[in-house]
Amino acid sequence: MTLPFPLPTYADVEAASRRLAGVANRTPVLTSTFANEATGAEIFFKAENFQRMGAFKFRGGYNAISRLGDDAKRRGVLAFSSGNHAQAIALSGRLLQVPTTILMPLDAPEMKIAATRGYGAEVVLFDRYKVNREELAAEMAAERGLSLIPPFDHPDVLAGQGTAAKELIEDTGPLDMLFVCLGGGGLVAGCALAAHELSPGIKVYGVEPEAGNDGQQSFRSGQIVKIAVPKTIADGAQTAALSPLTFALISRDIADILTVSDAELVETMRFFGARMKIVVEPTGCLAAAAVLGSKIPVRGKRVGVILSGGNVDLSTYARLVG
C-alpha cells in the first residue's frame, strides 16, 4: 500500500510533547495492589481521565491546532464528533485563540453539546440520519476556509496522543507490555511509536469492544475491514474502520488486537470505582479490562495500561455500576 503521506515517527511525538509541556496535564500513574495480586503482574495505569477535558484527546487536538500556519489559525478549525474529540478541539482552540466549529448530531447528549459550547466553540447541529457528516464537514470546510481536524486520521493528532505513553514509560522505566484502548487507532498508533523507542522489545496491544472488532479483523486479515456502527457502551470506540494511516502503523507496530465484552467493561468500571476510587468511562476501561480479564498471560510482567478517559454522565455511570 502506498500512502499519500510519510508516516509519523517518534520525533513527532517528542515535538508534540514539547508543545504540550505546561499545557496538558502530566497525568498520574496509578497502581493497585489488588490488581497486581489478582493478575500476578506489576500494572501501571496511566490515568488520562485526569487529563484536561477528561480524556487523552486533548493531546492530539492541541498538537494539531498548534501546528497550523498563522493564516489557517486565523480562519479557524472544523471538527465533527459527538464525544471527546469535540471538547478537545473546542478547548484547544480557546487556549490557542483559534476559532472552532464543531459538527454534532442533533441527538448528541445535551451535556456534551453544552460542554463543547462552554469551551467557546460554535456548535452546528445536523441530522445524522439524513446527512452524511463527512460530506457536510468537507463542504463547510471548503466554504468557510476552515482546517478540518479529524479525531484519529491525522499524523499530528496521533503524534500528540503518543505523548501519553511517552510520559508513562518515562515515569515507570521499561515495560514488557502496553495495553491501549482502540477506536480509530490514533491513540494506540501514537503510543506504539513512543513505546518502541523508550522500551525496546515492548509488546503493544490494542483493545476494542467485542461488538466492534473491525480493528482485530483488519489486523489479522492484513486489510482494512469496515463494519456497521457497533452497538456497545464503549461510545468512544464506535468507529466503523481504521484509516490507511492508523492501519499502516498498527500493522507494523502492534503485537495483536484483543477484544472485551460490555459486561467486562462494566466489571472494570466497578473495579476502578470501588477499589481505586476513580471514574473511568466505558471506553476508557477497554485496555484495563483485557489485562484484568487475562485475555493474554501477563503473570510476572511489567504492564502499562492507558486509561483513556473519564467522561460519562453520572446517571449512566450510576446505572452501569449500580
Ligand X SMILES: *Cc1c(COP(=O)(O)O)cnc(C)c1O
Active site residues: 57, 82
Question: Contact, 301 vs 42, CB < 8 A?
Answer: yes
Q: Which stretch binds ligand X (CB under 6 A): 1-9, 141-149, 182-190, 260-268?
A: 182-190
Does residue 66 belong to the site contacting ligand X (CB under 6 A)? no
Is residue 305 a contact partner of residue 43, using CB atoms and an 8 Å limit? yes
Smallest separation, CB 179 to ligand X (Å): 12
Question: Which listed residue (17, 236, 248, 272) binds ligand X by CB under 6 A?
Answer: 236
Three-class SS state of 256: strand
Could you say which residues in the range 36-55 bind ligand X, by CB under 6 A? 55
* Beta partners for residue 303, in sequence order: 43, 177
Residue 160 CB, shortest distance to ligand X, in Å, is 10
Q: d(Cα 101, Cα 176) in Å, to the nearest integer?
A: 41
The nearer residue to ligand X, 73 or 281, going by C-beta atoms, is 281
Q: Which of 64, 141, 178, 181 binds ligand X (CB under 6 A)?
A: 181
Query: Residue 292, Cα to own-chain centre: how many angstroms?
Result: 20
Task: Name the one range near ligand X by CB under 6 A: 32-40, 61-69, 141-149, 179-187.
Answer: 179-187
- d(C-alpha 269, C-alpha 285), whole Å: 7
Minimum distance, C-beta of residue 238 to ligand X, in the bound complex (Å): 10
Q: Which three cell numbers stand for residue 8?
A: 509519523
Grid cell digits, residue 10: 517518534
* 57 belongs to the binding site for ligand X (CB under 6 A): yes
What's the CA gap between 54 and 293, in Å, rounded?
A: 25
C-alpha 257/C-alpha 266 separation (Å) is 20
For the chain, how far is it from start to end, CA to CA, in angstroms? 48
Q: Which of 61, 76, 93, 183 touches ligand X by CB under 6 A? A: 183
Smallest separation (angstroms) from ligand X to the CB of 190: 8
Sign of CA dihedral 70, 71, 73, 77: negative
Residue window 116-155: x/- pattern of binding to ligand X, with contact defined by CB under 6 A: -----------------------------------xx---
Min CB(287)–ligand X separation in Å: 9
Binding-site ranges for ligand X (CB under 6 A): 55, 57, 83-84, 151-152, 181-188, 236-237, 281, 283-284, 308-309
